[in-house]
Amino acid sequence: MGHIQKMILLVVIVPLALFPGGLISYVLLFEKPVFETTMWVPVGMTVLGICSFIFHFKSKSFYKLLKKEATIPKVETLFWVLDIAFGVIYMMMSIYLLYMMYQLGRGDDYAMLLYFIIPLFIIGVWTVGEAFYLNKLIQIHKFAHRHSEIEDIKGEGLE
């Protein structure tokens, strides 16, 4: 089940990662505005999304390896942090959009905005939750692997 979850996250993260940067690129190419400091936010979201994609791509085989009790390849800590940051940014953005929706007080547009806000929040929570869950599984796997090695050493001495 975890491997399927990774594949779904890979498919979902690609458009979420590329959309903010693509939007800023479109605006800068066709609308010709001046680059403002607030435009760094979507660019940063795209960079975090690309790093999140790399994290999920590198760790997609972890769930299969955990079942086989094989050694798990290392994913750099930076990618773990950037993946969690990607999820947190999308959660914060959805909360901010919900707050702005509340401040504007437009009753007609609530449903359309909620169709946009709720999936962003769910993807953010899912990304962060999956990273912590995978980390917990890896720690359990390492503990079990060490414990089995100790048992193997104990068993060899008795013969």
- Confirm whether 102 is domain-assigned: yes
Residue 125, pLDDT > 90, answer yes
Q: What is the mean pLDDT of the chain?
A: 79
User: Domain range spanning residue 130?
Assistant: 2-62+79-158
- Between helix 77-104 and helix 40-58 the angle, nearest 10°, is 140
Q: Which of the two residues, 111 and 19, has the higher pLDDT score? A: 19
Task: Look at residues 7, 35, 12, 16 and name the one whose alpha carbon lies nearest to residue 89.
Answer: 16
Task: Give the rounded percent of residues in the chain with a pLDDT score beyond 70.
Answer: 81
**Does residue 72 lie within any of the structural domains?**
no
Read off the pLDDT of each residue in 124-141 and give the average, rounded to a whole number: 87
Q: Is the pLDDT assigned to residue 35 strictly greater than 80?
A: no
User: What is the number of domains present in the chain?
Assistant: 1
Q: Is the pLDDT of residue 147 over 70?
A: no
Domain presence at residue 68: no
In a domain, 21, yes or no: yes
Percentage of residues in the chain having pLDDT higher than 90 = 13
pLDDT at position 159, please? 47
Looking at the domain assignment, is residue 71 inside a domain? Answer: no
pLDDT tier for residue 154 given thresholds of 50, 70 and 90: low
Q: Indicate whether 52 belongs to any domain.
A: yes
In the predicted structure, residue 5 carries a pLDDT above the cut 50: yes
Dihedral through CA 85, CA 91, CA 97, CA 103, nearest 10?
A: -110
Q: Is residue 149 part of a domain?
A: yes
Average pLDDT score over residue span 98-105: 81
